[in-house]
Amino acid sequence: MSNDTGVEQTLVLLKPDAVARGLVGRILMRFEDALLKVVASKMVWMDADLTRRHYFDLEERFGSAVYAAMAEFMQSGPVLAMVLEGVDAVACTRKLVGPTYPDQAPPGTIRGDFAHMTQAYANARRIAVANLVHASGNADDAKHEISVWFAMDEIVEYPTAAERFER
């Protein structure tokens, strides 16, 4: 979701591994430090229906084994779902999160600093890569994903302290 000012919204999920490791605050701080504001959030234990709606194309793209591994992982613990808003929020969030595979993510990214699982390790065990965060891939994905997770009345508009004093 975006407008003509470059301000857009994106979906972020702090996955079960991030929640279980107690990294929610540290990860959220990275987004807020980058001037992304939280306009919606909720803690959810994903069920089969929500998993299917969120990962609707994963099985088609990568096969049933990948989908099954991801579904098992995402349903293994609670997830913190958030809508972040800011200038170029999708690209900014993806940059902060880093590449999908933690072993390929550079230091300074969330996955590079906090995650440790390699693609080879996950593939050899037929498990999902524990990479802490899901972030929408592009503006169209963000719009769809936000609609899966949040009703419009759950997204709050408010000025940050900095926005109150902009001229």
Percent of the chain whose predicted confidence (pLDDT) is above 90? 74
- Domain contains 162: no
Per-position b or e across 24-41, b if 16+ CB within 10 A of its CB: eeebbebbeeeebbebbb
pLDDT digits (tens, 9 = 90+) for 56-112: 887 777 667 888 888 999 999 999 999 999 999 999 999 999 999 999 999 999 999
Whole-number pLDDT of residue 27: 98
Q: Which residues are catalytic?
A: 134
As for how many domains the chain has, the answer is 1
Q: Does residue 158 form part of some domain?
A: no
Q: 29, 113 in Cβ contact below 8 A?
A: no
In a domain, 166, yes or no: no
Q: Which two tokens stand for residue 22?
A: 């107690």
On whether residue 80 sits in a domain, the answer given is: yes
pLDDT computed for residue 56 by the predictor:
83
Amino acid at 41: S
Does the residue 1 lie in any domain?
Answer: no
Which pLDDT score, from 0 to 100, does residue 2 have?
A: 47
- Count H helices, E strands: the chain? 10, 4
Question: What pLDDT sits at residue 62?
Answer: 65
Q: Kindly report the CATH number assigned to the domain that includes residue 12.
A: 3.30.70.141
- Give phi and psi for 48, each to the nearest 5: -60, -40
Write out the residue range of the structural domain in which residue 123 sits: 7-149
